[in-house]
Amino acid sequence: MAELLLELFSEEIPARMQARAAADLQKLVTDALVEQGLTYDSAKAHVTPRRLALCVDGLDVRTAHYKEDRKGPRIDAPEQAVQGFLKSAGVTLDQCDVEEDKKGKGAFYVVRINRPGQETPDVIAKVVPEIVRKFPWPKSMRWGTGQLRWVRPLHSILCMFDGQVVPFDIDGIRSGNVTCGHRFLSPGEITVTAFDDYEQSLRSAYVMLDAGERMEAIAAEAANLAFARGLDVIEDKGLLAEVAGLVEWPVVLMGEFDESFLDVPAEVIVTSIRSHQKCFALTGKSGSLSNNYLLVSNLIAKDGGSKITAGNNKVIAARLSDARFFWEQDKKTALEDRLPLLEKITFHAKLGTQAERVARIEALAGEIARTIGADEAQARLAARLAKADLVTEMVGEFPELQGLMGSYYAREEGLDEDVQTAIRDHYKPQGPSDEVPLGKVAQAVALADKIDTLVGFWAIHEKPTGSKDPYALRRAALGVIRTVLDGQLRLNLLSVARAALKPVLQARHRDLEDDGDDVVVPDNAGDAIAADLLAFFADRLKVYLRDGGTRHDLIDAVFALGNQDDLLMIVRRVEALTAFLESDDGQNLLAGVKRASNILKIEEKKDGRSFTGAPETKLLLQGDEKDLNRAVSQSEANAKRAVDEEDFVAAMGHIARLRGPVDQFFDKVTVNADDPSFRENRLKLLNRIREATLAVADFSKIEG
């Protein structure tokens, strides 16, 4: 067993590509080694701005000798089958033997594979160049006169196995045992033999090899600097990871900008210094934004970083001046006056402009507002203005501020606070960790925005397929689900989807008509689309509930009832069913219902008919079947009444009262009586048990 150390040293690798590149290097190299017959104990890849490194520990020093007699197709098999076998075995036909099958099935081709073991350095020298030449960078380049493509010019390759150089050449770059340290702090070469030596030598040369360590160092130093000034760092994990990919020896410095810039919304300042200068914003103890910020340098400056900070201050001042100019200019035009500009922005070639989409969202937001008890006028106004900031200078510069800037401009115009909040939050939630919209008006607009997106792409047959979801429709559906459930909203999705589909289908029909006349779309035109979309919501809800720990079979048991489009009521049914089945009564009744269902399935299949309808009371001779019939009538009526009152816990309680009569029935009564009339009557009684439980769930879908 020995160690492989590989380093690919280049010009700066873009930070956004580093983590994926390290993972790709580890997978490609280890997969190739295993494919060649080698095993190893562990592997770990590292990345800095200028190097990709991999250490594979406990690697075999040679591959095992491999011997196998591989049987192929019959000699009279189709040519395609023979050629497929030869290709898979890596041989030609004249390298195969012909043998008679011992069971008399004819003559077959047989290839005798006898592969001697290889020294591991020979394997490495073969696979690494192939991996480097075909490395899957998102973008790559050529330089000089060579043919090799790499993300940035590749300078050197370090490749050591068991302390010795593994020699190979890639486009004139020969492998060796030499690397370089920090570009400025340690410009000399470093000779290494193994990973421990390599890592320590790099540290002495001002290179932190581990990206996680660089992140921790930046976070700790930033927190200390901020604390010393009575400030707090605004947490930004994405920026922290990006900055750690820009430096090999991080040094955190504090800069500042003029306090007058604090008149601009705080999010604008934070976004500006983050996106343009990769700097961290700070807040005071009151939570308000500070005019200090933190930057991360890749240098230990002799002057303590004062020149670096001064230069950065000037650049940030220029950036914030631009932001302030955008802010002041945008405030001069009301959001309402910007709406005509949305007619020039295409939302989707088949779904019209942003202006057309805004009209649909406004109407739908009004419908939803009435349903959930929000102010309809405010919901319609917020929906009409929600996209207006897309044509502002600020959002043009910082697209990630859309919605938020609209709320600021609405505040400047003196619009109602609920309208401001709805404009700000209508994109939410944008991910599993994002908050849901606050307030009924915001919820109405956010739901309208997402549902319009979903029905629109469903109408033009652009649904998610497999892992592909270019329009983030799964995220939109999850956003609807979270908004409804967190807000405890009552919403019939099927009717809402039909209402949302109508203007989309009308527009689509108009586009497809040659004469341009108004087209009357039948009321049921979108029924199939709406039903398919509802099924998609059902799948997303199942995923969401399963992720929260809910049993999948209980979800299926509720959805199997059909016509379930009220998400909140579905979840309450599932919760009640979950609690019910955790009790002894629930488990025992489930067993009884399943027994009844299984008997019915067998007998229905045998007779080729179903046993529906009420049993005849005059044929209920035994006391236990009479008791069960009365119990079913009472429990079924009470359960349905509780369901109508949306008290699913009470409904489960009524169904639970069937446990005793069901147990007694099966203990005392023979279902398949000799008399056909009694048999049919008792099977109808079993069917009553099955139908009674359907008031709350389909017990046949429940496991156990």
pLDDT tens-digit series, residues 647-689:
988 988 888 888 888 888 888 888 888 888 988 888 888 888 8
d(Cα 486, Cα 229) in Å, to the nearest integer? Answer: 39
> pLDDT tens-digit profile of 155-189?
999 999 999 999 999 999 999 999 999 999 997 89
For the chain, give the mean pLDDT: 92
Q: What is the pLDDT of residue 618?
A: 82
Q: What's the mean pLDDT in 13-36?
A: 96
Specify the pLDDT at position 704: 66
Structural domains for the chain: 2-62+119-204 (3.30.70), 67-115 (no CATH), 211-330 (no CATH), 336-549 (1.10.3210), 573-701 (1.10.730.10)
- pLDDT of 212-247, one tens digit each? 999 999 999 999 999 999 999 999 999 999 999 999
**Using CA atoms in the order 158, 162, 168, 169, what is the torsion angle rounded to 10 degrees?**
0
Contact call for residues 106 and 76 (beta carbons, < 8 A) = yes
pLDDT value at position 443? 97
Residue 51 phi, psi dihedral angles, 5° rounding: -150, 145
pLDDT on residue 278? 96
Nearest to 362 by CA among 374, 345, 376: 376
Answer whether residue 310 shows pLDDT above 90.
yes
Within its chain, how far is the Cα of 114 from the centroid? 47
Residues 448-490 pLDDT 10s: 999 999 999 999 999 998 889 999 999 999 999 999 999 999 9
pLDDT digits (tens, 9 = 90+) for 643-657: 888 898 898 888 888
- How many other CB atoms are there within 10 angstroms of residue 69's CB atom? 11
pLDDT tens digits, 341-377: 999 999 999 999 999 999 999 999 999 999 999 999 9
Distances (CA, A) of 570 to 165, 484, 567, 634: 65, 12, 5, 24
Mean pLDDT of 33-59: 96
Tell me which of 610 and 394 has the higher pLDDT: 394
Please report, rounded to a whole number, the percentage of residues in the chain having pLDDT higher than 70: 98
Q: pLDDT band at residue 323, thresholds of 50, 70 and 90? A: very high
Which residues, at least 6 apart from 238, have a Cβ–Cβ distance to it below 8 Å? none
Residues 690/600, Cβ–Cβ less than 8 Å: yes
Distance from C-alpha of 361 to C-alpha of 358, rounded to nearest angstrom: 5
Q: Is 673 helix (H, G, I), strand (E, B) or coil?
A: coil
pLDDT at 91: 86
Return the beta strands (E) in 149-288 as ranges.
154-161, 164-165, 169-170, 173-176, 178-180, 189-191, 232-233, 251-256, 280-283
Q: Judge contact between 233 and 294, C-beta under 8 A.
A: yes
Report the C-alpha gap between 290 and 285 in whole angstroms: 10
* C-alpha pair distances (Å), 117 with each of 61, 129, 294, 637: 10, 21, 56, 78
Q: How far is CA 701 from the centre of its chain?
A: 28
Q: Of 26-30, 96-100, 106-110, 146-150, where does the model show the most confidence?
A: 26-30
Type of residue numbered 591: A
Structure tokens at 557: 């048991």
Q: Pick the residue with more confidence: 208 or 669?
A: 208
The mean per-residue pLDDT over the stretch 371-385 comes to 97
